[in-house]
Amino acid sequence: MFSSERLKGIDVFVSVADLGSFTAAAERLNLTSSAVSKGVARLEGRLGTRLFERTTRRLALTDAGTAFYRTCTAVLAELEEVELAIVAENRAPHGKVRIDLPASYGRLHVLPLVLEFVRQYPLLQPHISFSDRFIDPVQEGVDIVVRIGGPDAWPASLGHRYFGAQRLIFCASPAYLQSHGTPQTARDLDEHQCVGYGQRDGLVAPWYFKGRQPGEMERRVLHTRIAVGDGEGEVAALMAGLGIGQLPTWLVQRHLDQGTLVEVLPELATDGLPMNLVWLRRREALPKVRALLDHLAARLTPHGTQ
């Protein structure tokens, strides 16, 4: 049998975890510091475990506290959504929505769309993060995710919309090509300086080449003069004349249009990783999530936005 006792102290605990201080939490909740401290102590006693490590300098969640915090914030968010859905007469998107975007593509192409959407709905409160790793939206409580790459089969808990594969081309600065010549074949790349993508494990990401059979892809790791763990950083290295790179059109098209980068070996241009718009199915019916999904789905392309 569920007991209301289980809800006592949760709002206090979450406030302390968010602010990292009993005093700050007390100010937010309009309580005394003593009341906040006692509320957390009672909650720890009921759970039979410590939720915080307390020292004279800092307050940090224990492992158990971190797990409990994730559950509590998810429960509170769900309660907030139900309450808003019941009492709100205006069904316009409003409230907090969490979005996680790939770093470079997200900053260049998705963030402007989200900001455009927010201007239309001033009651929306987006929390936007950037990461190139594949996160678990269910575990981390993220409503909407844009990802380059991903699993072959998406779990049933997630909805997803494939919006294309990024188009990869080879390019370099005019100054580099003037100094080193323009490659005419894929093998010529072995004689050129290359700018690669540096992965977190210290290795350099391979480049993609068309295979011998239709639809087949080959991956080769070329010797790189410099490896940069960020797409916009790779562009900066290319524009500095440090070599040739293989980059997606969504990242370099405006530089090609301006003439600050030049495409080489156009016959070797190929499709790369798939690009997907992903969301939590259990939250897709919420007006704020549904409307933002529709806004993004209509505009995202593998070359940028439309």
Residue with tokens 């975007």: 101
Q: Residue 80 sits in a domain of what CATH number?
A: 1.10.10.10
CA distances from 38 to 43, 46, 66 (A): 9, 12, 19
Per-residue buried b or exposed e for 249-274, using 16+ beta carbons within 10 Å of the residue's own CB: bbbbbebeeeebbbebbeebbbbbeb
Range with lowest mean pLDDT among 29-43, 81-95, 204-218, 267-281: 81-95
- Regarding whether 282 and 154 lie in a shared domain, the answer is yes
Using pLDDT thresholds of 50, 70 and 90, give the confidence band for residue 1: very low
Helix residue ranges per DSSP H, 30-121 = 33-47, 63-87, 103-105, 111-120
pLDDT at 85: 59
Q: What is the rounded distance in angstroms from the CA atom of residue 97 to the CA atom of residue 292?
A: 9
Using pLDDT thresholds of 50, 70 and 90, give the confidence band for residue 89: very low
Q: Residue 197 sits in a domain of what CATH number?
A: 3.40.190.10
The model's pLDDT over 19-76, given as tens digits with 9 standing for 90+, comes to: 888 998 898 888 999 999 999 999 999 999 999 998 777 788 999 999 999 888 888 8
- Regarding whether 251 and 169 lie in a shared domain, the answer is yes
pLDDT at 84: 60
Sequence-distant (≥ 6) Cβ neighbours of residue 71 within 8 angstroms: none
> Residue 36's domain spans which residues?
4-87
Sequence-distant (≥ 6) Cβ neighbours of residue 8 within 8 angstroms: 39, 42, 43
Using pLDDT thresholds of 50, 70 and 90, give the confidence band for residue 282: confident
The model's pLDDT over 106-121, given as tens digits with 9 standing for 90+, comes to: 999 999 999 999 999 9
Instruction: Count the domains in the chain.
Output: 3
- Regarding whether 266 and 170 lie in a shared domain, the answer is yes
pLDDT (average), residues 137-164 = 89
pLDDT at 151: 81
Question: Domain boundary at 62, 87, 112, which?
Answer: 87
